[in-house]
Chain A
Amino acid sequence: MSRTIPVRLNVNGVEHHLDVEPRVLLVYALRDQLGLTGTHVGCDTSNCGACTVHLDGRAVKSCTVLAVQADDAAVTTIEGLGTEEQLHPVQEAFWNDHALQCGFCTPGMIMAASALLAENPSPSEDEVRHALDGNLCRCTGYHNIVKAVLDAAASKSATIPQQPEVRA
């Protein structure tokens, strides 16, 4: 086994100390070491976006970040965005608008959309479509996803609260 490197990650507000091989991708550190399996892997080439998480508040594809690059960073995954009891407005809108079918792209799609709304609280349809063009969905044809993001932006509750990105 190759040598490992210690990494300190704040994930969904909880601090973790991991030992990872230098080549381990952030997505696999999250999934395999922390058991956060809501973040998915759908391709080998950073095209599909199923692995999108927030890294220090910005949406990144966690298959394109090494775990060691995230040392000292704050990560929010789908599990940290909202709970069934208290959904994030984008999660609520996805449910209301039937913006998901098989659900596999959904966590990444929601993380990308919530990052967009944090940056641009009232995007146009065109802005939503371009902001999500790094996230692939094979089920919905994107129609209801785009609708959900626009509805989340329009909803009163959607003065999108920034997730508490607690620095380590």
Chain B
Amino acid sequence: MSDVASGAATNGAPATAAHVGRALRRKEDPRLITGQARYVEDISLPGTLWAAFVRSPEAHAKIVSIDAFAAREREGVHAVFTGEDLSDLTDPLPCAWVPPGVELNNPDHWPLARGAVKHVGDPVAAVIGEDRYAVVDAAEDVVVEYDPLPVVTDPEAALRGAPFVHEQFGTNQVHQWSLPGGDLEAGFAQADVIVERRVVNHRTAGAPIEPRGVLADYRAGSLTVWSATQVPHFVRLFLALLLGISEDRVRVIAPEVGGGFGSKLQIYGEEIFTGWASRKLGQPVKWIETRSENMAVSHHGRDQIAYTKMGAKRDGTITAFHTRIVADLGAYNMVNTPSIPELGAPVMSGVYKIPVVQTDIVGVFTNKCPTDAIRGAGRPEATHMIEVTLDQLAAELGIDPLEIRRKNFIPKDDFPAETATGVVYDSGDYDKTLDRLLEHVDMAAFRREQEALRARGNYRGIGFSTYTEVCGLAPTRLFGPEGFGSQAGYWESAVVRVHNTGAVTVYTGTSPHGQGHETAFAQIVADKLGVDPEVVEVIHGDTGTGPEGRNTYGSRSLAVGGESLARCATKIADKAKAIVAHQLEAAPEDIEVREGRFSVRGSPDKGMTLAEVAGAAYLNNVPGGMEPGLEATTFWEPENYVFPFGAHACVVDVDPETGKVKIVRYVAVDDCGNAINPMLIEGQVHGGVVHAIGQALYEHVQYDEDGQLVTGTLVDYALPTAAELPSFETDRTVTPSPVNSMGAKGVGEVGTIAASPAVTNAVIDALRPLGVNYINMPLSPMRVWEAISEAQGASAKGGVPA
């Protein structure tokens, strides 16, 4: 299958691009494939103590007493701390979303619980000792007496009244939020057909293969923390604020980080506690999360119940789309918790021209682990709502699912396109991606094959998802305190430093955890400076070596951080041109970067290499009035978000006897603008798609009605393995973004945003002849079998459907 988008090389890429657009293999990989990389757990300091947490087995209880005597008496144990010991923290853990004009119930949330626990896994004490095994033994000796309180786990029941997760609010409602766009009543009045769905987007886990970990070292008045985090700069800020240490004396390093998927975009209590404990004890303190802890207390994602309502005219023209969402936020507001469902609202129009679109959200407390950002964060939920509702609309109108999509696509001439809610999509050409998809999928042949298989009792189906998403966080004007309400500015920083020898070190404020920034960013800078990417070292994830940064999430690193680096490198190139012009007595505007040299246009033999330019710059052999040296810093933020889009198709076989779903084929056509490294794009799409297939078919964080987590390990929480999956077919179209000079859009989340409705729609397509028209995820054999049984009029416990 072709993986190179036609026209990629000519579409907006500068003519001198030698490296941008090429599938360079990664600079990161040699250390990773030989076991030489250093993740947090691999870092040891002399005198390091280990921490283990005592966690609540109760979902909701008062803490009556904590008896740590026996634990403290154990050999090698240095201390046992409880919530009261941390009374010198200046503030609770942060929630960084303060939406203007919206009231938000926000309970205090401390690194160690104070007086009560609100979900299973809430930490009540921490043991510090000399040995990783011994602290776990000692933690088991801490005796905690609990007085259990009533538990609520169903968000819709929680909204109806007591029991309350936080008694002081007299309600379990966290907040209400709306994004209106047009007159709903008028929109539905124009519809000939209205379909409604209750779309449950169940709770999932980020489940990076590396659990979290923290190593904190306080000495001589300064704190250094290594953390498996996506957001070292935010962690530094809150360590400084909460511990009352001047920010310049706190350094946070995200070393090699083993995946995040949003679950490491957080200010976790364990990070704050470990720093606090190192200061308290005067020794380094290390905590490595177990997988069981990861499943219980690393924030979860999704968990929304949506009531969707879509109206259309008889010819398929959509007149209005309304969603009411009940979002289960769990027990506390963590850093972005209540804002996650809202992130889907800006693209609730999907790729369709819909005159009236409205999203209404209610956030709810329950006695469960808090939810927060997990890959896609709000947009996978939105896409699922749109795409499964639209398929049902097509079925009820008797229109082909692809035809109804095309009929409602925002035409390419409309871009930049303003939707009903006032959001402006930067660029798009939705027919083009769907056309490309159908070059790979022969629909006439598929329908013939499907019919032939059905005649033999084999149920094969095809499902589609045509999507867009909003990413590249973010223009502060739209996303920051005065706009959406996120309490930060969302620029990104870059430093480009050319050394004496012409080697280049660049710093980015983004913080990768698998994406390949060291390679892609080196490609960008190399082209600007006429050097090989091999001599461009990309430094990231260390607050002590670069400027303030805004880290990695929301598919922002390339579209914001990469662009910032590109602009920074352009400053260096401009300075280099001025130096070369000065040296060669030419005009700066006549100097060009060509074949690795800064040379005079038309006289390619007259020129200087970057090393020669750097030599002149550091010898202060520069034009009058110019500073010596060859280094620049850039802070840049975009004017708008970017909106990647695409068309995905999934083919499944469903076994009606067992309900088992097998993915036969998956084709993804995505458009993320100009490519920096197409190999990295493809990798992001593969992983993103499988993340959503996992949710669609297997993964489900489940609590029982007492709030006990019943999926606490990877035995019960089924991540997809190689054995369940096919190889994927990927392709791209290229519609450059006008938002940045590279014409690039984010791609880290698109697969996850696109895929779950494609899988669901495929299963429904297979089963419509049996009378099944919707099943909520995960499409487990039991659920599918029950849906078939119900549709066939058999009792769920009865026999196999006819």
Contacts and interface: CB of A to CB of B under 8 A. Distances in A.
B515 A101 contact: yes
Nearest to B686: A141
A83 interface: yes
Contacts of A135: 721-722
Contacts of B514: 101-103, 139
A77 to B, nearest CB: 7
Contacts of B131: 1
B727 interface: yes
Contacts of A128: 722
B719 interface: yes
A103 B42 contact: no
Contact of B34 (A38, A101, A133, A134): A38
A38 B33 CA distance: 9
A24 B132 CA distance: 11
A142 B34 contact: no
B687 interface: yes
A110 interface: yes
B33 A42 contact: no
Interface stretch (A66-74, A87-95, A155-163): A87-95
A102 B257 contact: yes
A104 B29 contact: no
Interface stretch (B186-194, B307-315, B525-533, B675-683): B675-683
Interface stretch (B87-95, B208-216, B354-362): B208-216
B35 A104 contact: no
A50 B258 CA distance: 11
B460 interface: no
B33 A102 contact: no
A101 B683 contact: yes
Given A1-B76, A102-B209, A133 B33 contact: no
Contacts, number: 184
B213 to A, nearest CB: 10
Which has the most chain A C-beta neighbours within 10 Å: B36, B690, B722, B725?
B722
A81 B679 CA distance: 26
B650 to A, nearest CB: 13
Interface string A30-48: 0110001111111111011
B552 to A, nearest CB: 12
Interface in A103-150: 103-107, 110, 125, 128-130, 132-147
A102 B722 CA distance: 17
A47 to B, nearest CB: 4
A103 B209 CA distance: 9
B258 A102 contact: yes
A103 B28 contact: yes
Contact of B721 (A37, A39, A136): A136
B689 interface: yes
Interface string B702-745: 00000000000111000101110101100000000000000000
Contacts of B258: 40, 42, 102-105
A48 B714 contact: yes
A21 B134 CA distance: 12
A167 interface: no
B28 to A, nearest CB: 7
A98 B680 contact: yes
Given A104-B208, A132-B722, A136-B209, A96 B25 contact: yes
A106 B35 CA distance: 9
A23 interface: yes
Contact of A77 (B25, B35, B679): B35
B722 A98 contact: no
Contacts of B513: 102
Contact of B686 (A38, A44, A140): A140
Nearest to A36: B35
Contact of A137 (B28, B36, B209): B209
A75 interface: no
Interface in B258-280: 258-259, 261
A146 B722 CA distance: 8
A104 B33 contact: no
B163 interface: no
Contacts of B679: 98
Interface string B22-44: 00011011111111111101100
B75 interface: yes
Contacts of B29: 94-95, 100, 103
Given A45-B715, A78-B34, A102-B210, A141 B728 contact: yes
Nearest to A111: B35
B713 A47 contact: yes
A79 B728 CA distance: 32
A54 to B, nearest CB: 13
A48 to B, nearest CB: 6
Given A104-B258, A144-B686, A95 B723 contact: no
Max chain B Cβ within 10 angstroms of own Cβ: one of A23, A84, A101, A135: A101
Contacts of B31: 84
B501 interface: no
Contacts of A82: 34
A110 B33 CA distance: 8
B207 interface: yes
Given A77-B35, A95-B26, A136 B686 contact: no
B26 A104 contact: no
Contact of B208 (A83, A129, A138, A141): A138
A143 B515 contact: no
A16 to B, nearest CB: 17
B30 A42 contact: no
Contacts of B19: none
Contact of B33 (A36, A94, A146): A94
Contact of A138 (B133, B209, B682, B723): B209
A109 to B, nearest CB: 9
A98 B261 contact: no
Contacts of B751: 141
Among A96, A104, A135, A140, max chain B CB count under 10 A is at A104
B35 A98 contact: no
Given A38-B36, A44-B291, A104 B209 contact: yes
Which has the most chain B C-beta neighbours within 10 Å: A21, A41, A98, A133? A98
Interface of A: 1, 21, 23-24, 28, 31-32, 36-45, 47-48, 50, 77-79, 81-84, 87, 91, 94-96, 98, 100-107, 110, 125, 128-130, 132-147
Given A48-B209, A95-B26, 17 more contacts: A42-B291, A44-B290, A48-B714, A87-B34, A91-B33, A94-B29, A95-B25, A95-B30, A98-B680, A101-B259, A102-B257, A105-B258, A132-B723, A141-B686, A141-B691, A141-B751, A142-B722
18 contacts: A32-B132, A38-B35, A40-B209, A40-B210, A42-B291, A48-B291, A94-B29, A98-B682, A101-B515, A102-B210, A102-B259, A103-B29, A103-B33, A129-B725, A132-B721, A138-B261, A141-B690, A144-B686
